[in-house]
Amino acid sequence: MSDALPPEFALIAKYFRPLAGPGSLNLSDDAAFLTPPPGRDLVLTADAMVGGVHFLPDDPPDMVGRKLLRVNLSDLAAKGATPLGYLMTVSTPRDTPEAWFAGFASGLAQDQAEFGVTLLGGDTTSTPGPISLSLTIIGHVAPGMAVHRAGARDGDGIWVTGTIGDGALGLAVATGRLADPSGFLLDRYRLPQPRVGLAIGRVASAGMDVSDGLVQDLGHICRASGLGAVIQAARVPLSPQARAAGEAWLETCLTGGDDYELLLAVPPAREAALLQAATARGIPVTRIGGFHSGPPHVMVRAANGEPLALTKGGWSHF
Amino acid sequence: MSDALPPEFALIAKYFRPLAGPGSLNLSDDAAFLTPPPGRDLVLTADAMVGGVHFLPDDPPDMVGRKLLRVNLSDLAAKGATPLGYLMTVSTPRDTPEAWFAGFASGLAQDQAEFGVTLLGGDTTSTPGPISLSLTIIGHVAPGMAVHRAGARDGDGIWVTGTIGDGALGLAVATGRLADPSGFLLDRYRLPQPRVGLAIGRVASAGMDVSDGLVQDLGHICRASGLGAVIQAARVPLSPQARAAGEAWLETCLTGGDDYELLLAVPPAREAALLQAATARGIPVTRIGGFHSGPPHVMVRAANGEPLALTKGGWSHF
C-alpha cells in the first residue's frame, strides 16, 4: 500500500495544523492533552452552525470561521471566563472547494491571534448535506466567580453592552429586505464582537449573551432567577444605522438574534464597578430596565408607558 | 408575549435534561462548569457523526446515540484516560419525529450509566440536511500517563484487543452485501465496545483505537513514531463470524473501519503486565506483529510469508 495520507488528513495538515496550539500534539493524535490552570474552574460551551440556518451559503468562509469561534467566545465572556482552547468538528460536502477551507482557516487564525486561543483537536468528515460546524470551547475562571443565568435579585438593574438589533437587521440586509449603505449592519451580522475581557465576575449577579433575541434571552434569566423583568424600549441602545431603519424595525431589534452583546443583572451597589470595568475596556454599557419579584415574565414598555405587544418572543434555531 | 418556551427548549428539557450531570446546571445555562480533578491532566476529543455517512438513516436512534458516545469513549480508552463528561451538538431536520429524540436520548442514558459519564452541555439546531451529531468528551489521566500515537520503539510488539473486522463486515451486512444469520456482525457495527478501564498507561508505549481500519491506523502510529511495522495476517484475531465470511473478506477486515478496538505498541518487557491488565478486565489481547526501525510503512504478511497487496489503505470519512 502507499504511504501517502488520504485527502482528509492532507487537508487537516495543510489548513488546520497551523491553528493548533499546545496540547494539540499538532493534531497528530486522537485526542488533545491539557493541564488545567491550577486552582481554576473550567467553563465549557458548544455551539453548532449549519449552512442555510446560521450562515448563508455565499458568506465568505473566513467570516464563517470567525463567527463560529466568536459565538463561543461570547458565551465564555458572558460567564466571566478566560478562553483557553477549542475543539471543532467540520462536516463538508465532497465538492467543497479547497479555497473554502483556506478561507475558513484564515478567519480562525486571525481571531485566534486576536483573542488568544488555539485549536486543540477535532474531526473532519464529509456530509451529503450543507456544511455543518460544531465548536466546543474551554475557558477558565476563579472558583466561584462564574456568572450564571440564575442569581439575579429583585431590584437588580438590567444592563446590556454595545447596541442591540444590528445583527438581526444585518440578516435582513443579507436577505435583501433592508438597505445598508455603509455595510455596518451586515458586518455586525457576520462578525459578532464577543465582549471577552469585561470583568463581570465581581459585578454581575447573573448574565448571558444575547444570541436568540433580547426579549427571549432576558426571559431565560427571569426563569432561571425566578423574577419578572421590565425593560424600557426607549432605553435599549440602538446604533445610528438601526435608528435610521425606522420604528418599523424596533421589534426586530428587540426580538431578533445574533447580537452577541452581554445581558447582565447588576445590583445598584455594583453599578459603579460595572461602569469602571466597562470604561477600562472601552465597552459601552446601558441600563435598560430592572428585575422585580413576580412571575418570570418580560414586559417591554414603550415611551408612553404602555406595554409593547410583541408578536415574536425571539429566535429559535429549532 | 407568552412565557412558554419555544420547541427547541421544550425538547431539550424533555429529552436531554435527564442526561445532565453535575456542572451542567441542568442545561439551564449557556455553559457548563467543571472543577477539574486536582493534579490530573485532561484528555479531550471530538467526533462528528452524519446520517448517511457514519450511520444509516434507518439505524435505531438509541444505537446512534450509543455509538456517538462510544466512539468518543473509545478514543479516551486508547489514551488511557477515565471519562468525566461530554458536550454534544445535535442538528436535525425539522420533520424529525419526537420518537427519534426519545430513542436517541434513551440510548445515551443507557450508556451513561454503563460508562459512568454525564452530559455537560451542548446545542440543538435544525438543519436542511441529514442528522448531524458532534460530541466532545473530556477525560482525565495521571500526569505523564497519557498514551500517545508517538512513542512506539523498535522491537515493540503490535497488539490489538478483541477481534478485528467485525465492524466493517457489519456495514457490509447492513448494506445487503453479506449474510449475518446471528446478527453478531451487525451488532458490532452498530455498537462499538470501547475498552474503557484497560490500564494501558503503564504498559503501552503508543496506542490508538482502530476506527479507520487496522492498516491505516497502524500507519498513523508508524508515522508518529518514525517506525515501520509488519503484521502477520494469520495472527490478526477474527471472530468466528468473520472467519465464516471467508478469505474473500480478509482485506475488508484488515482495512475496514469501525472496529473500536485498541491498537497498542508494547515493549516485550511489559507484555506480562499487559496480559495481567487485560485478564483483570476480561479483555482478550493478541500480538499481531512488531515495529522495526525504517520508513513508516505497514507491511502485512500472508501465512506463506509473502506481502499481501492491499488495494485500499483504510477508510477515510472524507
Instruction: Walk me through the domains of chain B, giving residue ranges and CATH numbers.
Output: 7-141 (3.30.1330.10), 157-301 (3.90.650.10)
Residue B11 or A62, more confident: A62
Q: Say whether residue B298 is in contact with chain A using an 8 A CB cutoff.
A: yes
Mean pLDDT of the region B101-122:
96
Which of chain B's residues have a Cβ under 8 Å away from the Cβ of A47? Answer: 89, 123
Nearest CB among B3, B31, B44 relative to A296 is that of B3
DSSP A205: S
- Residue B219 sits at the chain A interface (C-beta within 8 Å): yes
Please tell me the distance from the alpha carbon of residue A227 to that of residue A298, in angstroms, as a whole number. Answer: 9
Higher pLDDT pick, A56 / A299: A299
User: Which position has the higher pLDDT, A92 or B314?
Assistant: A92
pLDDT at position B314 over 50: no
**pLDDT at res. B316:** 40
CB A285 within 8 A of CB A277: no
Side chain identity, residue B227 = L
pTM summary value: 0.90
B212-243 pLDDT tens trace:
899 999 999 999 999 999 999 999 999 999 99
Q: Report percent pLDDT > 90 for chain A.
A: 81
Residue B205 has pLDDT above 90, yes or no: yes
> Does the distance separating the beta carbons of B1 and A134 come in below 8 Å?
no
- B121 CB within 8 Å of a chain A CB: yes
Residue type for position B128 = P
Side chain identity at residue A209, one-letter code: D
Q: Which of A6, A129, A296 sits opposite B318 (nearest CB)?
A: A6
Going by their DSSP bridges, the two strands B227-232 and B298-301 should be labelled as parallel
Give me the mean pLDDT over the A74-89 stretch. Answer: 96
Q: Which residue has the higher pLDDT, A192 or A4?
A: A192
Q: Is the pLDDT of residue B318 over 70?
A: no
* pLDDT value of position A95: 92
Q: Which residues from chain B sit within 8 angstroms of residue A194, using beta carbons?
A: none
The pLDDT confidence band at residue B6, using thresholds 50, 70 and 90, is low
Instruction: Please give the pLDDT value at position A138.
Output: 96
Q: Read off the pLDDT of each residue in B7-31 and give the average, rounded to a whole number.
A: 84
In this predicted structure, the answer to whether residue A314 has a pLDDT above a threshold of 50 is no
pLDDT tens digits for range A85-143: 999 999 999 999 999 999 999 999 999 999 999 999 999 999 999 999 999 999 999 99
In this complex, the residue of A32, A36, A125 whose CB is nearest that of residue B36 is A36
Please answer whether residues A83 and A140 qualify as being in contact, where contact means their C-beta atoms are separated by less than 8 angstroms.
no
B136/A contact by beta carbon, under 8 A:
yes
User: What are the residues whose beta carbons fall under 8 Å from the beta carbon of A280, sequence distance 6 or more?
Assistant: A199
Q: Taking CB atoms and an 8 Å limit, are A1 and B215 in contact across chains?
A: yes
CB contact under 8 A, A127 and B125: no
The CA-atom distances, in angstroms, between A182 and each of A160, A169, B172 are 24, 13, 57
Bigger pLDDT: A316 vs A67 = A67
Q: What is the 3-state secondary structure (H, E, C) of B243-260?
A: HHHCHHHHHHHHHCCCCC
- Pairs of residues, one from chain A and one from chain B, whose beta carbons lie less than 8 Å apart: 258
Per-residue pLDDT averaged across B42-46, rounded? 96
Interface test with A, best of B8, B126, B132 (most A CBs within 10 A): B132
Of A31, A215, A318, the CB nearest to B79: A31
Query: pLDDT-derived band of residue B139, with 50, 70 and 90 as boundaries?
Result: very high
CB–CB of A99/A285 below 8 Å?
no
Contact yes or no for A132 and B215 at CB 8 A: no
Name the helix (H) or strand (E) containing A224: helix A214-225
User: What pLDDT score does B308 carry?
Assistant: 87
Gap between the Cα atoms of A114 and A162, Å rounded: 19
Report pLDDT digits (tens) over A2-37. Answer: 344 557 778 888 899 999 988 888 888 889 999 989
Across the interface, do A127 and B126 touch by the CB < 8 Å criterion? no
Determine the pLDDT at residue B313: 53
A128/B contact by beta carbon, under 8 A: yes
B125 to chain A, minimum CA–CA distance in Å?
5
Q: What is the pLDDT of residue A316?
A: 40
Band of residue A308 on the pLDDT scale cut at 50, 70, 90: confident
Return the pLDDT at A277: 94
pLDDT digits (tens, 9 = 90+) for A236-261: 999 999 999 999 999 999 999 899 99
Question: Which chain B residues touch A209 with a CB distance below 8 Å?
Answer: 30
Separation between Cα atoms, residue B222 and residue B218, nearest integer Å: 6
Cβ contact B33–A42 (<8 Å): yes
Contact yes or no for A46 and B136 at CB 8 A: yes
Q: For A198-207, how does the pLDDT look when each residue is reduced to its tens digit (9 = 90+)?
A: 989 989 999 9
Q: Flag if A136 and B318 touch (Cβ within 8 Å).
A: no
User: Could you give the CA distance from residue A1 to residue B149 in angstroms, rounded to a whole number?
Assistant: 20
DSSP A119-149: EEEEEEEE-SSS-EEEEEEEEEE-TT----S
Residue A275 has pLDDT above 80, yes or no: yes
Contacts of A95 (CB under 8 A, 6+ apart): none
Percent of chain A residues past pLDDT 70, beyond the cut: 95
The residue ranges of DSSP E strands in chain A, in sequence order, are 32-34, 41-50, 82-92, 118-126, 132-141, 157-161, 206-209, 227-232, 262-266, 285-293, 298-301
At residue A317 the predicted structure's pLDDT band, cuts being 50, 70 and 90, is: very low
Q: In angstroms, what separates the C-alpha of B184 from chain A's closest C-alpha?
A: 27
Cβ contact B45–A132 (<8 Å): no
For A170-179, B50-59, B85-94, B302-311, which range has the lowest pLDDT when averaged over its residues?
A: B302-311
* Distance (Å) of CA B173 to CA A75, B56, B66, B177: 44, 12, 20, 6
Which residue from A11, A46, A220 is facing B121, i.e. has the nearest CB?
A: A46
Mean pLDDT across chain B: 92
| Average confidence (pLDDT) over B250-272 | 96
Residue of B nearest to A132 (CA): B132
